[in-house]
Amino acid sequence: MLSAQDPTRRNILKTAGGFSAALALGAGGVLAGATPAAAAGDGFGLRIVDRNEGDPRMWYYRFQTAEIGWNPGVNVLLPDDYHWSGRTYPVLYLFHGGGTDQDFITFDREHIRDITAGKPIIVVMPDGGHAGWYSNPVSSNVGPRNWETFHIGQLLPWVEANFRTFAEYDGRAVGGFSMGGFGALKYAAKYWGHFASVSSHSGPASLRRDNGMVVHWANATSAALDLGGGTVYGVPLWDQARVTADNPVQRIESYRNKRVFLVAGTSPDPINWFDTANETQVLAGQREFRSLLGNAGIDHEWHERPGGHFIRRDLLEHDINGVIGRLRKA
């Protein structure tokens, strides 16, 4: 693969730029201003250690960062016309769920390219750890795992410096599945001035209900899969201020004037304890969250569907259409 510094790549880009400029000249000789996409660079504490910009739409990067003890990856999905349109686009940050089979490629496996074909939006899909819970953990025995700082303090400004996005409230949305749906709700509340739309597909919205079942689950999974016995929220005593700050049902006013989109399954597989444990909590927590939003007069869209804990592609596409409708137009 050619690097940004490779002279062959520079010549290709130069030639492409001239060709784009020629195409942009209309019958009246007016330059439309279309330019090719430039290769992304380092910055904001991120050093690119692997990359692939060969696909017309899906650009891949892997970073070295002091915030994460290994090199996390990200897929950046570009609109079909990104390389020649010259337009600036809204952006959706889309987060994967937990588990050893979940990572920044999750939504590519779920046909995100087909779902967004012809749609004027950039979709950024980063790693979030097997059980990182989109958080800076209370403790880690394996080095830094500061996913919240990586996503908000590093990745977001890096994207806006390297791609044509609207770097403003009405230009950004955040969404995700399962653990990523929780991460989306959390980030939208804690960084309420960053995102105008938030979507949670089977993501928990209530941390303290049922004696803190979701907090216990976050601690157990992070200890086993991500932190070598460390935890997101602390054991045996929780960091109560952190739980409150992260808990969507305790941050209701932070969702006012946002587009809020929620999906939950109503009939998880009773034979599958993982499916049942997850979606039962998701459904109950989202219903609690929706009730509080409704009581506060905060608009939200919700869907309850048969089945359990999985990504419903039709609702993901419906959601992305809603994101595009809410954000600033390309």
Residue numbers annotated as active site = 178, 275, 309
223 Cβ neighbours under 8 A, 6+ residues apart: 229, 230, 231, 235
Query: What is the Cα–Cα distance from 195 to 255, expressed in whole angstroms?
Result: 10
- Angle of helix 209-225 versus helix 273-295 axis, rounded to 10: 130
- Phi/psi at 190 (nearest 5 deg)? -65, -35
Which of the 8 DSSP states describes residue 134? T
Query: What is the Cα–Cα distance from 301 to 299, expressed in whole angstroms?
Result: 7
How many other CB atoms sit within 10 Å of the CB of residue 214?
24
Query: What is the Cα–Cα distance from 175 to 185, expressed in whole angstroms?
Result: 8
How many other CB atoms sit within 10 Å of the CB of residue 267?
14
Query: What is the Cα–Cα distance from 266 to 276, expressed in whole angstroms?
Result: 10
Query: What is the Cα–Cα distance from 296 to 246, expressed in whole angstroms?
Result: 19
Give the burial string for 173-205 (b: 16+ CB within 10 Å, else e). bbbbbbbbbbbbbbbbbebbebbbbbbbbbbbb
Cα dihedral 300, 255, 79, 48, rounded to 10, equals -150
Which of the 8 DSSP states describes residue 254? G
Which of the 8 DSSP states describes residue 237? S
